[in-house]
């Protein structure tokens, strides 16, 4: 592979990121690098490219809307934005009281949710926002304060105050609410960046009960799990609970950047004019793409494919060498290995033309397109099995 992310003098062109390969185009579940190398993309841009690459629905939405209207100030509404808000309310099941704030990414949607939590807390004299150990809510300063990982947080201390991190256990949850002062609790139904770790059975149901009892908001970060990724539009819908607010991003634009905060019930009354806004958030181009993507997922019943292909992948992968167990839901899959060699497996897979990643030392994550079928799964199993075999052989070699 050419290391053409450096300039002619060998200096890095980018300050951070982008070291594995130089990708220049994609089609369906495949991407190609600048040397013509072809890869099967089972990471999907980290749970983003839900329709794969260069999908005609996305191309048409971008090109048609680009020729009509890309941006207006937020003094004005646009039909695309109103359609998206109403569609998200319907899919999230907010009923009439729901409201939507459109942002440009997941972190931004979470920042909006943090401000929602503060508005609620300040109204009721509650100062603490709870977050969970293992959580990832983003890298901006507010979201970072809710992302309790030393490597991410420590260089940027002091962090936003009024945040308490607890273990994701029902006992810790009950203790934190018993201590009082809780304005809101933030949680991901499945902790994607931690290694596709689902919350313990009953955790979110109990969080809903306690939040209601203590007049706190239950705010779900579904940036990775939402927009159909787990086989329901939102992962919490598997549990039959209703949050006070939910954030999405990643798959909702199938690669076009956008995010959203969706509020339920009285949480929808907290923001008032002047308290928040975004120049680009909710622009008609991003909104048109999200409308087209969500409509396509719905009309093609792609959530059924997400559920079925997810189950098929988890079953087939469970039988492979080095695999201890699998977890996740739909097409957000964590493959737990019986040794901390996930980074080696991901690197080996890349050299064999498969894009996956290792969110934890012993976990491989898959987040492929909702459109995958028999041929993509067969190709994945071929390359993934060969990669596991190669790493297992290397391990034996090293042990000798």
The residues binding ligand PLP (CB under 6 A) are 105-107, 110, 136-138, 188, 192-193, 221, 223-224, 249-250
- For residue 190, what are its two tokens? 């499945």
Q: In angstroms, give the least distance from the CB of 250 to ligand PLP.
A: 6
As a whole number of angstroms, the distance between CA 387 and CA 377 comes to: 15
Q: In angstroms, give the least distance from the CB of 57 to ligand PLP.
A: 21
Q: In angstroms, give the least distance from the CB of 159 to ligand PLP.
A: 16
Residue of closest CB approach to ligand PLP: 106
As a whole number of angstroms, the distance between CA 103 and CA 112 comes to: 9
**C-alpha distances in Å from residue 62, one per residue of 53, 303, 340, 344:** 13, 23, 42, 38
Instruction: Give the angle 49-52-57 at the CA atoms, nearest 5°.
Output: 95
* Residue 107 or 326 with smaller CB distance to ligand PLP: 107
Give me the catalytic one of 101, 250, 380, 384.
Answer: 250
**C-alpha distances in Å from residue 281, one per residue of 95, 119, 249, 261, 383:** 23, 21, 12, 11, 40
* Residue 333 or 388 with smaller CB distance to ligand PLP: 333
The number of residues making up the chain comes to: 400
Give me the catalytic one of 42, 101, 136, 186.
Answer: 136
Q: In angstroms, give the least distance from the CB of 107 to ligand PLP.
A: 3
Q: In angstroms, give the least distance from the CB of 221 to ligand PLP.
A: 5
Q: In angstroms, give the least distance from the CB of 375 to ligand PLP.
A: 28
Q: In angstroms, give the least distance from the CB of 392 to ligand PLP.
A: 30
* Residue 89 or 250 with smaller CB distance to ligand PLP: 250
* Residue 140 or 307 with smaller CB distance to ligand PLP: 140
* Residue 52 or 255 with smaller CB distance to ligand PLP: 255
Our answer to whether residue 203 is catalytic in this structure is no
Our answer to whether residue 380 is catalytic in this structure is no
* Residue 263 or 387 with smaller CB distance to ligand PLP: 263
- For residue 323, what are its two tokens? 């695999």
Query: For 358, phi and psi rounded to 5 degrees?
Result: -120, 90
Our answer to whether residue 156 is catalytic in this structure is no
Within 10 angstroms of residue 117's Cβ, the number of other Cβ atoms is 30
Q: In angstroms, give the least distance from the CB of 251 to ligand PLP.
A: 10
* Residue 21 or 249 with smaller CB distance to ligand PLP: 249
* Residue 106 or 231 with smaller CB distance to ligand PLP: 106
Handedness of CA 46, 47, 51, 55 (dihedral sign): negative
- Asked if residues 168 and 132 have their Cβ atoms less than 8 Å apart, the reply is yes
Collapsing DSSP to helix, strand or coil, 148 comes out as coil
Collapsing DSSP to helix, strand or coil, 57 comes out as helix
> To which residue do tokens 């293992």 refer?
134
As a whole number of angstroms, the distance between CA 5 and CA 20 comes to: 10
Detail the DSSP E strand segments found in the chain: 23-27, 30-33, 38-41, 99-103, 128-132, 163-166, 182-187, 190-191, 197-198, 217-221, 245-248, 259-263, 323-329, 332-337, 354-355, 357-360, 363-366
Give me the catalytic one of 221, 244, 344, 362.
Answer: 221
Query: For 165, phi and psi rounded to 5 degrees?
Result: -95, 135
Among all residues, which ones are annotated catalytic?
A: 136, 221, 250
């Amino acid at each position: 592979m050419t290391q053409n992310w450096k300039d002619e003098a060998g200096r890095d062109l980018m300050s951070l990121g982008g070291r594995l390969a130089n990708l220049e185009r994609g089609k369906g579940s495949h991407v190609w690098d600048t040397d013509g190398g072809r890869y099967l993309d089972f990471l999907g841009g980290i749970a983003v490219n839900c329709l794969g690459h260069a999908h005609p629905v996305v191309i048409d939405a971008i090109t048609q809307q680009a020729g009509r209207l890309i941006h207006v100030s937020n003094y004005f509404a646009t039909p695309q934005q109103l359609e998206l808000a109403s569609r998200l309310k319907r899919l999230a099941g907010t009923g009439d009281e729901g409201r939507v704030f459109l942002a440009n990414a997941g972190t931004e949607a979470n920042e909006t949710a943090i401000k929602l939590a503060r508005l609620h807390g300040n109204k009721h004299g509650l100062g603490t926002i709870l977050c969970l150990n293992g959580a990832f809510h983003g890298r901006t300063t507010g979201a970072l304060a809710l992302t309790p990982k030393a490597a991410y947080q420590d260089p940027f201390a002091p962090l936003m105050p009024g945040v308490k991190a607890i273990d994701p256990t029902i006992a810790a949850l009950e203790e934190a609410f018993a201590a009082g002062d809780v304005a809101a609790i933030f949680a991901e139904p499945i902790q994607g960046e931690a290694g596709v770790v689902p919350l313990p059975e009953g955790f979110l149901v109990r969080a809903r009960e306690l939040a209601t009892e203590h007049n706190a908001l239950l705010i779900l970060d579904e940036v990775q799990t939402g927009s159909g990724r787990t086989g329901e539009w939102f992962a919490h819908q598997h549990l039959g609970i209703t949050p006070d607010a939910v954030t999405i991003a990643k798959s909702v634009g199938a690669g076009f950047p956008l995010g959203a905060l969706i509020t339920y019930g009285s949480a929808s009354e907290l923001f008032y004019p002047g308290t928040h806004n975004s120049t680009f958030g909710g622009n008609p181009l991003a909104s048109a793409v999200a409308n087209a993507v969500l409509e396509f997922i719905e009309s093609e019943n792609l959530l059924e494919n997400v559920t079925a292909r997810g189950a098929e992948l988890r079953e087939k992968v469970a039988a492979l060498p080095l695999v201890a167990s699998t977890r996740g839901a739909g097409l957000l899959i964590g493959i737990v290995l019986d040794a901390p060699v996930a980074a080696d497996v991901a690197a080996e897979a890349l050299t064999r033309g498969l894009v996956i990643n290792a969110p934890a030392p012993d976990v491989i994550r898959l987040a492929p397109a909702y459109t995958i079928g028999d041929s993509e799964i067969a190709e994945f199993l071929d390359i993934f099995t060969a990669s596991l075999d190669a790493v297992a052989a290397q391990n034996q070699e090293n042990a000798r």
